[in-house]
Amino acid sequence: MANLFDLTGKSALITGSSKGIGKAIAHRLAEHGANVVISSRKADVCDAVRDEINGLVGRNAAISIPANIASKEALEHLVAETNKAFGKIDILVCNAASNPYFGPMGGMQDEQFDKILKNNIVSNHWLINMVAPQMRERKDGAIVIVSSIGGLRGTNVLGAYAISKAADMQLARNLALEFGADNVRVNTIAPGLIKTDFARALWENPAILKASTERAPLKRIGEPDEIAGMAVFLASPAGSFTTGQTIVIDGGQTVV
């Protein structure tokens, strides 16, 4: 019987994969047989993750291609170089995101709001439209957007970020309808509070940490690997009948 989680021969492009959730996803996709592209803004950190993954899996599974997701030209270069290296892109994980502002909506500058929307929604729209045509032509592909439970709940400190994450969920639903006839699946993962550098301002704040864990059934925050497993599922044959969904992984925080 075929391994439902086997990704041998598949190629995956993961943005924001030099640390945190993106790095964990890249590690686990490579562990399950995929070739992976490590991408974030800084070349040196991308190279370090590339070397780490290749050393652990014992093959040249990973390459590094730095890119700034705010630049359409940089994303075009990222896609072109990935195709040049691997010949195709079977799996796209849109993980990179920005949140330059923490506080009430009324205190946010226009430039900060614009940056959040561009990096967290528009860049995903650009990148997906650069990659989807080849997937649709092959009648096979998996696209995963890393969203957040912030897109499901009101917040008084992460307003624009939460808006962007709700929009990512709707983007996945729309594209699942558009791409479904060509067997291209589009889903989002909505993590709760995860112990990453990106979320450090949240889990290092005692009041926020308490609010996130006190009533949640598991009474703790999550680890990047606990998100990576879902990305493997959605990218693999195990997830071949799943599309247009938002999978919440939050230790039960949103059930109370």
Mean pLDDT computed over 222-234? 97
Global pTM? Answer: 0.96
Catalytically annotated residue among 86, 101, 161, 233: 161
pLDDT digits (tens, 9 = 90+) for 148-195: 999 999 999 899 999 999 999 999 999 999 999 999 999 999 999 998
In 3D, which of 176, 183, 99 has the Cα closest to residue 134? 183
Query: 200-224, pLDDT tens digit by residue?
Result: 777 788 888 888 888 899 999 999 9
**pLDDT confidence of 66, banded at 50, 70, 90?**
very high
Q: Give the start-to-end residue ranges of the domains of the chain.
A: 11-255
Starting at the earlier edge strand, list the strands of the sheet with 91-94.
62-64, 35-39, 11-15, 91-94, 141-146, 184-191, 246-249
pLDDT of residue 1: 46
What are 109-124's pLDDT values in tens digits? 999 999 999 999 999 9
Q: Reduced to 3 states, what is the DSSP secondary structure of residue 43? A: helix
DSSP, res 181: G
Buried b (16+ CB within 10 A) or exposed e, 188-217: bbbbbbbbbebbeebbeeeeeeeebbeebe
CA 181 to chain centroid, in Å, comes to: 24
Q: Is 101 a catalytic residue?
A: no
State yes or no: pLDDT of 134 exceeds 80.
Answer: yes
Domain 11-255 in CATH 3.40.50.720? The answer is: yes
